[in-house]
Structure 1
Amino acid sequence: MYSLQHPQIDESFLQLNSKVEEVTTLLRSMIKPSESVKKDVEATTLKEATPESLRDDNFMVTKRKNPECKLSSDRFTFMRQVEVEQDERSKARLERERVAQNFRKLGNANYRQEKYEDAKEMYSQAIENIKDSPILYINRALCFIKLGNFKRAIVDCDFVLNKLDEKNLRAWLYRAMAYKSLNDEPNYENCIKYVRKYHSKQLEFIDAFIEKMKATV
């Protein structure tokens, strides 16, 4: 048998309320952190989110660079450089053409005075500046013919026909004249065949040139 004590004289009962409150407070602290703790947690989280906090002896956060931006910038720089170089080449070409034209005029003047050697040299100087002008090679070929250097004339004519203009009228005619002067009838006839083929609308001029050539060669 045990005796039932009166609640008013039971000391443990007197402490019940305080113990309940203590337990309740403890449970609350486990479920919901205090404001001071919450602030500390938020502060720590915010700090951890900053780049400065993501840095230690073994790790450092850096900003990522966009490779496409660099490629675009490099492409623009390259294209700009190409444009500049093209512009510079165009200006240089114009200057060389101006110089070549002056030499050509001097060559024409010497040729009219029958100074064929001087004329040849002037055309050669022009070619040094502009190497893709058919008229310069053709004029020089005619000078070689006048100087009796027929094989060298054929070289200039061949360069025009093979590299610059395969249908060039004067190149075919001067080539025919050079072969005729060398008594090379097969190559002469071949030249006449092609010049007639490529310039069928100028047969009258071609025939007149051939008649005059036969009278002088």
Structure 2
Amino acid sequence: MLDHLTVVTHPLVQHKLTIMRNKETSTAGFRRLLREISLLLAYEVTRELDMTTATIQTPLREMQAPILDGKKLALISILRAGNGLLDGILELVPAARVGFIGLYRDPETLKPVQYYAKVPDALEDRLVIAVDPMLATGNSSAAAIDLLKEKGAKNIRFLCLLAAPEGVARMKEAHPDVPIVTAAVDECLDHHGYIVPGLGDAGDRMFGTK
């Protein structure tokens, strides 16, 4: 079982994250790096997938070889920025089922408001990985996990690029059974609810919006 919080300190992850933090990095560069770093993070979040064996024939002889067991895992993108993490993970696990949860943060209350949800069936039988680049206040992430549990999910992990201590604490309080995998835990949130030093708004930087 993964720890509640896993920070991936691999040199390539940290190097790519530094380039993404730089405000001079272009939209195209940011998008490419996010895809690359998500693939690297996916190695960690899928480290303990269930395995079984199958009989195969190599060019030399028959053998019992390890393969993944159980239903295809489910990737759940927390819109819109979560979509930036999907590409890299799907390169690693192309057969994964994909779902989407639409949440936006009310700028006054910082509370999440749901506007869309469509997820794969049989979540109770799948490893479910919820993805969102930023774990800031943790309110949207906790709300997304609430919805996934209502849909039957029992084995859930949360993958993000950056986390704030406040978000990690909120998730641990709300969902202590959901491990978090991230590339870094930054200093704090500012009064707007942004991660500091952070990298700005991941969705805006990914899609070239303001």
**TM-score in terms of structure 1 length:** 0.24
Q: Which has the higher strand share?
A: 2
Tell me the TM-score normalised to structure 2 length: 0.25
Larger Cα-atom Rg: 1
Of structures 1 and 2, the one with the larger relative CO (CA 8 A, separation 6+) is 2
Is the helix fraction higher in 1 or 2? Answer: 1
